[in-house]
Amino acid sequence: MAATAAAAAAAAAGVVGSASHHSRILQFSSSSRRRQLCISCTAVSPSPIPASLAAGDRGVYNFAAGPATLPESVILKAQSELYNYRGSGMSIMEMSHRGKEFDAAIKKAESDLRRLLSISDDFAVLFLQGGATTQFAAVPLNLCKPDDPADYIITGSWSDKAYKEAQKFCKPNVVWSGKSEKYTKIPSFDAIRQNPDAKYLHICGNETIHGVEYKDYPEPKNKNSILVADMSSNFCSKPVDVSKFGLIYAGAQKNVGPSGVTIVIVRRDLIGDPQPITPVMLDYKIHADNASLYNTPPCFAVYICALVFEDLLDQGGLQAVEEKNAKKAGILYEAIERSGGFYVCPVDKSVKSLMNVPFTLQNSDLEKKFIAEAAKEGMIQLKGHRSVGGVRASIYNAMPLAGVEKLVAFMKDFQARHP
Ligand SMILES: Cc1ncc(COP(=O)(O)O)c(C=O)c1O
């Protein structure tokens, strides 16, 4: 026991000791024969980072689409508080969600997010579970009756999934689809044939797979209707005028935290009349009335979000964050454009995402090699989504400029080596 406590203390201090190996043989009887089960636990030191991997401070630049890279400072702070949270003698994972420590953490997460996005008290801010996918159902369940129409603009796989799920709970209508153009565009807003009776107009603010991002937002035709946005992959990457929306939802695992928590920002006057079949866990009013503590929330994920929001405020807020994001995306798109067709990004120039940059190589046979060689250089998770292939560099808030610069240098070098 003492050894275990010492190891944990060392781990908390960031000092993982040399490899120790414990093997246990558990025996148990079964009706037919005696079986042996061997469980082997090995505590291993982190492998040293080879010089060739000297990329970010952790040895790699992680271009994953989500769960995605988080700010180093946040990870280190969480590490330092993991074992004994602010003198409580417990990890934040081990304490009651109704205790004073977690209460302070969730309140801080909410108030910092309100500051970041200037969210007025007309809106409830909810920390929920089930991912953005659950919101595909929760939105129509809370905002519509089964026969109500709702408008959906389909700019990629995620808005398409939202539309398909809504078919179970209301009468959604596709008012524009970019499918025939392989999801490379966002329509001009007057080309959207909105239904004047629609309860809401649903968009996906940034299509994570296709790299298509709204730079401005359409207005619902009907003044009583509202704009609803899935902002999972560009949440808190730039300032957004929340008052233009009735509801914004976002899974945290791209820009603001780990997976496990989904943030919903909803105008209070829109909630409280869900369809009778709405499960209690999908009823926004229940969560708003209980300050996101109706049931056990994803405590650790909410706590990490609180650290990320604090970090974003420390960086100067979302205006400053957007400037950094625009710079990173700018150099990457420029490298693609200047490659003379060696690299190709199919997305319409005016709606290229600042967050997810999908591209292909003119010679698609080279893509595997590109991704493998980049990984050897410490640039990982660059494979495009399995549904579209190619390469995708996700460059969320926490991706440092140096990571994108390194990728651009690698791209130029790779091209030079494959004339
Ligand atoms: C834009 C967008 N919406 C929805 C989802 C689904 O999120 P989740 O897997 O958290 O349900 C994703 C996931 O990547 C996404 O990128």
Can you give 196-207 as a three-state secondary structure string?
CCCCEEEEECEE
User: At residue 200, does pLDDT exceed 50?
Assistant: yes
CB under 6 Å to ligand 1: residues?
Answer: 66, 131-133, 158, 204, 208, 230, 232-233, 251
The partner residues of 28 in beta bridges, in order of sequence, read 35
Beta bridge partners of 53: none
Query: Which residue out of 202, 207, 208, 264 has the highest number of ligand 1 atoms within 8 Å of its CB and is therefore the one to mutate?
Result: 208
pLDDT in tens, 141-193: 999 999 999 999 999 999 999 999 999 999 999 999 999 999 999 999 998 99
The Cα–Cα gap between 333 and 50 comes to 30
Flag whether 1 is in a domain: no
Q: Are residues 267 and 362 in the same domain?
A: no
Q: Which residues are within 8 A (CB) of 6 and not within 5 positions of it... i.e. 6 or more apart?
A: none
Strands 212-213 and 206-207 come out as: antiparallel
Residue 18, domain member (yes or no): no
CA of 131 to the centre of ligand 1 (A): 7
Together in a domain, 190 and 336: no
Residues of the chain with pLDDT > 70, as a percent, come to 87
Q: What is the distance in A from the centroid of ligand 1 to the CA of 177?
A: 19
Determine the distance separating the centroid of ligand 1 and the alpha carbon of 215, expressed in angstroms: 20
Please tell me whether residues 295 and 395 are part of one structural domain.
Answer: no
Same domain, 241 and 130: yes
**pLDDT of the residue at 121:** 98
Shared domain for 57 and 164, answered yes or no, is no
Helix (H) or strand (E) holding 142: helix 131-143
**Predicted local confidence at residue 388, as pLDDT:** 87
Say which residue the tokens 């690698």 belong to: 410
Contacts of 54 (CB under 8 A, 6+ apart): 378
Task: Say yes or no to pLDDT of 114 above 90.
Answer: yes
* Cα of 257 from ligand 1 centre, angstroms: 13
Please check whether residue 45 lies inside any domain of the structure. no
| Cα distance between residue 237 and residue 255, in whole Å | 7
Distance of CA 168 to the CA centre of its chain: 25
Q: Which ligand 1 atom is the nearest neighbour of the CA of 208?
A: 16
Per annotation, catalytic residue among 151, 230, 283, 311 = 230
CATH code (residue 193): 3.40.640.10
Residues 293 and 354 in one domain: no
Kindly state whether residues 302 and 246 are assigned to the same domain.
yes
Number of domains in the chain: 2
CATH number, domain containing residue 374: 3.90.1150.10
Q: Kindly report, residue by residue over 349-392, the tens digit of the pLDDT.
A: 999 999 999 999 999 999 999 999 999 999 999 999 988 889 99
Residue 202 has, within 13 A of its CA and on its CB side, a CA count of 32
Strand partners, 21: 42
Q: Is residue 129 part of a domain?
A: yes
Position 4 in a domain = no
Looking at 46-60, 80-94, 216-230, which range is the least confident one?
A: 46-60
DSSP codes of every residue in 395-411: --TTS-HHHHHHHHHHH
User: Which of 291, 314, 337 is at the close of a domain?
Assistant: 314
Contact 160, 167 (CB under 8 A): no
Ligand 1 atom 9: residue of nearest CA:
131
Check whether residue 202 and residue 99 sit in a common domain: yes
Which residue among 250, 283, 314 closes a domain?
A: 314
- CA dihedral defined by 281, 285, 290, 292, rounded to 10 degrees? 60
The verdict on residue 36 lying in a domain is no
pLDDT at 25 over 90: no
Give the count of alpha carbons within 13 A of 296, CB side only: 6
Is residue 402 classed as helix, strand or coil in its secondary structure? Answer: helix
Q: Determine the distance separating the centroid of ligand 1 and the alpha carbon of 162, expressed in angstroms.
A: 10
- Per the rule left: phi > 0, alpha: psi between -120 and 50, beta: everything else, 412 is alpha
**Domain housing 166:** 82-314
Any catalytic annotation for residue 158? yes
241 is catalytic: no
Same domain assignment for residues 90 and 233: yes
Going by pLDDT thresholds of 50, 70 and 90, the confidence category of residue 56 is low
Query: Contact 123/148 with Cβ under 8 angstroms?
Result: no
Mean pLDDT to the nearest integer, 10-37 = 35
Please choose from 233, 264, 355 the residue to mutate so as to test ligand 1's pocket, defined by most ligand atoms within 8 A of CB: 233
Give the residue, 345 or 49, on which the prediction is more confident: 345
Q: What angle do CA 149, 155, 161 make, to 5 degrees?
A: 60
Q: Is 151 a catalytic residue?
A: no
Of 314, 349, 372, the residue that ends a domain is 314
Number of H helices, E strands in the chain: 10, 16
Q: If you measure from the C-alpha of residue 232 to the centroid of ligand 1, how many angstroms do you get, rounded to a whole number?
A: 6
Name which of 317, 300, 216 is nearest 258 in CA terms. 300
Reported as a single tens digit per residue, the pLDDT across 306-339 is 999 999 999 999 999 999 999 999 999 999 999 9
Question: How high is the mean pLDDT of the chain?
Answer: 89
Hey, what are 14's tokens?
A: 């960031």
CB 355, CB 233: distance < 8 Å = yes
Same domain as 310, residue 324: no
Q: What is the dihedral of CA 118, 100, 302, 117, to 10 degrees?
A: 0
Backbone angles phi, psi at 21, to 5 degrees: -130, 125
- Average the pLDDT over 89-97 and give the result: 97
- Candidate from 128, 135, 158 with most ligand 1 atoms within 8 A of CB, to mutate: 158
Ligand 1 atom closest to Cα of residue 253: 10
Asked if 257 and 332 sit in the same domain, the reply is: no
Indicate whether 24 belongs to any domain: no
The first and second tokens of residue 403, run together, are 């990571």
Q: Which two tokens stand for residue 38?
A: 């061997």
Which residue has a Cα nearest atom 5 of ligand 1? 132
Q: How confident is the model at residue 13 (pLDDT cuts 50, 70, 90)?
A: very low
Whether residue 47 is predicted with pLDDT greater than 90 in this model: the reply is: no
Distance CA 389, CA 409 (A): 22
Q: Which atom of ligand 1 is nearest to the CA of 136?
A: 4
Catalytic residue among 151, 158, 199, 406: 158
DSSP E strands: which ranges in 149-197? 149-154, 171-177
Q: Report if residue 33 sits inside a domain.
A: no
pLDDT single digits (tens) 272-295: 999 999 999 999 999 999 999 999
